[in-house]
Amino acid sequence: MSDVMVAPRAKVEEKLFQNRYLVDAGRPHIKVKAHTKPSASLLAMTTLCPAGCYTQTESGQVEVAADGCLECGTCRIVTRKTGEIEWNYPRGGFGVLYKFG
Amino acid sequence: MGEFNKPFDAIVVGAGPSGNAAAYTMAKEGLNVLQIERGEYAGSKNVQGAILYADALEKIIPEFRDEAPLERHVIEQRMWTMDDRSHTGMHYRSDDFNEEKPNRYTILRAQFDKWFSSKVKEAGALVLYETTVTELVRDLSGKVIGVRTDRQGSPIMANVVVLAEGVNGLVGQRSGLRDELAPDTVALAVKEMHFLPRETIEARFNLSGNEGVVIEAMGTITKGMTGTGFLYTNEESISVGIGCIVSDFAETDVTPNELLEAFKNHPSIKPLLADSECKEYAAHLIPEGGYKAIPQLTGAGWIVVGDAGQFVNAVHREGSNLAMTTGRVAAETVVSLTRKREEMTAANLAAYQKRLAQSFVMKDLKKYKGIPELLHKNKGNFFGTYPKLLSQAMQTWFRVDGIDKVSKEKAIFRNFRETRTLWGMMGDAFRVVRAWR
């Protein structure tokens, strides 16, 4: 019964609007290193990231926009062996602020 | 923020259940404790279902029920095996759970952790929020003697550092105190908070007053991946979520959000959430590797507690109680060494592990040491084939259609045997029994 999968990507963004964030403008805590072709692990993040932060560009590279990041760390674990991303927690006080958790 | 000249008796990294249990226990015993939390407030980075198991907290703050923000006490547990259109349920509800000191409560972690943190401060610990610990400081022998943060220029020194930094604890992993997390031993869970008037929740779940229900679900809801779903009743909200092993997620195109949407729209779940307003979407990792994934827990000047030490009993969905217990036991170990004026050496701190071995924490994790691997290796059967077969059997049995019961029994057994060979089923049953023992 797959009648529920309507525009899931848009829906994630809508969901993120419910959350509170304090964005550390200009200091993203996750960076994708420059590459020509992403590994399978990095590419997997375009569906695996629960906040939909990863997208693939038309020329095939994977980008991250970490403003809506939920700080779960999945991308860090999945791409650890390929070393394609640089991952740190946001500076103290910044990032997602769960109201309920 | 000024500099700290005198070393603290202990620094605690993180203000979740394990860190708060540790900081509270040490501060209450008179130790000079500094706790460092990266969130704006304790709980602002923390996510859980969430069920609070009273016993673990009672051993730390006996009178917690008088003041902690608790949602509902759990009087009913529903265990559901689901296929796409059905669920087969095992429910246990008892008025015995309406007791003076209830055993389990639903909680909202952001509020609960904030309260626990206030108790830590009352007990005398110094708590720094909005501060991320960036690395450990060691002396020439390699002993941990303090931490660096993203706020203080110079390092902050302590006799011991308690690492309560959570499942994705960067400090310990980057310092080489433990291995990096493997994608097949952690689950990614996503969760939403759905608000409804309390009367609606009580009517929908057959509850009165502060009674609560929890639903734990497995089956085709995880689309062949190793994982579970849950739905917990809070005072005026419902926590609903689903989680699967990260390496399973990585092999599919199903997004965590789609999986949660499908679970929420399952015919057995949808009416429970009808007309609710979603106010938060959260994600978090859960350590699921069990006993075999527990890293080294102590060394010269450091000790690991909570999720950072993989202290989660995945079979029973217990974690926060293991976190609080390991935090408390680590703290008691440090208190006892401090009182005896003994050094925080690797050998002395190993007493923590001996104490844990005597507790339910290690006994339970050891009991189920084979389960995570068993489920993961046979995920197609446990999270797909068997739930479907069970549902079909139930439906054949309950549908009254003029077919005699003997024929129905035969049809059920034939369906099982054709789908999964007799040997295969017996093998799975045997493996479950062996792993459970």
- Of B95, B90, B69, the C-alpha closest to B236 is B69
Taking each helix axis from N to C end, the angle separating B17-28 and B109-122, rounded to the nearest 10 degrees, works out to 20
B182-187 mean pLDDT: 95
pLDDT tens digit sequence for B282-291: 999 999 999 9
Residue A83 lies in a domain: yes
Residue A37 lies in a domain: yes
Residue A3 banded pLDDT, cuts 50, 70, 90: very low
Residue A60 lies in a domain: yes
* Cα dihedral B364, B365, B366, B371 sign: positive
Q: Closest-CA residue in chain B for A10? A: B257
Contact criterion met (CB below 8 Å) for A71 and A95:
yes
Position B4 pLDDT exceeds 90: no
**Could you give the domains of chain B?**
10-71+107-180+290-367 (3.50.50.60), 186-287 (3.30.9.90), 371-436 (no CATH)
What pLDDT, on the 0 to 100 scale, is given for residue B420? 82
- Domain containing residue A61: 29-91
Position B177 pLDDT exceeds 70: yes
Q: Do residue A100 and residue B182 have CB atoms under 8 angstroms apart? A: no
B215-222 mean pLDDT: 96
Residue A14 lies in a domain: no
Residue A10 lies in a domain: no
Looking at every residue in chain B, the average pLDDT score rounds to 95
pLDDT tens digit sequence for B198-207: 999 999 999 9
Position B213 pLDDT exceeds 50: yes
- Minimal C-alpha gap between B334 and chain A (Å): 27
Domain count, chain A: 1
Q: What is the CATH number of the domain that holds A86?
A: 3.30.70.20
Give me the phi and psi of A2, to 5 degrees please. -105, 35
What pLDDT, on the 0 to 100 scale, is given for residue B3? 59
Q: Which two tokens stand for residue A92?
A: 């103290």
Judging contacts by C-beta atoms under 8 Å, the chain B residues touching residue A99 are 110, 279-280
Position B433 pLDDT exceeds 90: no
Residue A50 lies in a domain: yes
What pLDDT, on the 0 to 100 scale, is given for residue B434? 80
Is A10 at the interface with chain B, CB within 8 A? no
pLDDT tens digit sequence for B310-342: 999 998 999 999 999 999 999 999 999 999 999
Residue A48 lies in a domain: yes
Residue B101 banded pLDDT, cuts 50, 70, 90: very high
Position B357 pLDDT exceeds 60: yes
pLDDT tens digit sequence for B371-393: 888 888 889 899 999 999 999 99
Position A65 pLDDT exceeds 80: yes
Q: Do residue B113 and residue A101 have CB atoms under 8 angstroms apart? A: yes
ipTM of predicted complex = 0.93
Residue B285 identity: L
pLDDT tens digit sequence for B82-96: 999 999 999 999 999
Residue A36 lies in a domain: yes
What pLDDT, on the 0 to 100 scale, is given for residue A1? 42
